[in-house]
């Protein structure tokens, strides 16, 4: 499955030329207007964002900051692409926290290689996990449902993370007790109560928690109506 990337540049020529190259390797959404990108990105789920720097109105650095501030940001790599390959511009890019700065002089092969490399790097270090409308940010230790924070107790968060990590397999009851209750003695009724509370909070989720008799629990995708 191809990764989906966003490329924002005020120059139509740049957009068209690079789109042809990038489309051979990724699904590409191009944006000539950064404001349109900022409107679209919360509902899209990009695997990488490529930003031009010098744009009239709102520049690449500002777009970057707005993405980082947004609670909808999924942690994907953000790379700058610019013909302004001066020391000070590169330093500013890295100081802001961008993952990479690519000069427009780079060969198309290298641009693609760098984007792929950063996507792969972030894929293997996923600190934000999206599962349908649910998002768990493991660095913040918070869950979000349809963009809004979903308040969960620590036990609920532990249960949910375990189920997501094990999906689509069944988590044996022993493992639930070990991971969530640190192996201490816990009544079945207690486990049931917590799972029940969790299920109630996730009624509208595309997935549901199912009890597997005599074995444990698992996450299953609901059949669409």
Partner 1 sequence: MKWTLLYFDDQLDNIEAMTELLSDKFHVIATQDVNSHSKLMEEHRPHAFLLDVHMPNMDGYTLYTKIQEHPHYNGCPIIFISGDQSLESRLKSHDMGAIDYISRELRVEELVVRLINKIKLHQLTALKLEVGNLSVDLETFKVVVDHQIVDLTLLEMRILGVLFRNYPESVTRSELIRKIWGDVVVKQGTVDTHITTLRPKLKNWDHTIKVREDNILIQLRKPQ
Residues that bind partner 1 (CB under 8 A): 75, 87, 90-91, 94-95, 97-100, 107, 109-110, 113-114, 116-117, 120-122, 124-125, 127, 138-142, 149, 153-154, 157-158, 161, 165, 179, 182
Closest separation in Å from C-beta 147 to partner 1: 13
Cβ atoms of 128 and 72 within 8 Å: the answer is no
Q: Which is nearer to partner 1, 117 or 196 (CB)?
A: 117
Q: Which is nearer to partner 1, 27 or 97 (CB)?
A: 97
Q: Which is nearer to partner 1, 6 or 160 (CB)?
A: 160
Q: Please state the three-class secondary structure of 28-76 as a single string.
A: EEEECCHHHHHHHCCCCCCCEEEEECCCCCCCHHHHHHHHHHCCCCCCC
Closest CA to 60 of 23, 98, 113: 98
Q: Which is nearer to partner 1, 94 or 192 (CB)?
A: 94
Closest separation in Å from C-beta 149 to partner 1: 6
Closest separation in Å from C-beta 35 to partner 1: 25
Give helix then strand counts, H and E, for the chain: 8, 12
């Amino acid at each position: 499955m191809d990764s989906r990337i966003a490329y924002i540049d005020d120059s139509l020529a740049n957009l068209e030329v690079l789109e042809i190259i990038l489309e051979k390797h990724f699904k590409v959404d191009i944006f000539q207007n950064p404001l349109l990108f900022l409107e679209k990105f919360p509902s899209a789920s990009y695997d990488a964002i490529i930003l031009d720097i010098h744009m009239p109105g709102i520049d690449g650095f500002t777009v970057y900051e707005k993405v980082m501030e947004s609670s909808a940001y999924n942690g994907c790599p953000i790379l700058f692409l610019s013909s302004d390959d001066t020391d000070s511009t590169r330093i500013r890019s890295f100081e802001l926290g961008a993952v990479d700065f690519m000069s427009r002089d780079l060969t198309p092969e290298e641009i693609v290689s760098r984007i792929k490399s950063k996507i792969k790097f972030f894929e293997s270090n996923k600190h934000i996990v999206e599962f349908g409308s649910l998002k768990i940010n493991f660095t913040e230790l918070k869950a979000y449902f349809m963009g809004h924070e979903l308040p969960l107790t620590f036990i609920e968060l532990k249960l949910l993370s375990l189920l997501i990590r094990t999906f689509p397999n069944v988590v044996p009851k022993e493992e639930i007790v070990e991971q969530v209750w640190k192996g201490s003695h816990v009544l079945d009724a207690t486990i049931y109560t917590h799972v029940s509370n969790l299920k109630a909070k996730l009624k509208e989720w595309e997935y549901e928690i199912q009890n597997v008799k005599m074995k444990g629990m698992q996450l299953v995708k609901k059949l669409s109506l």
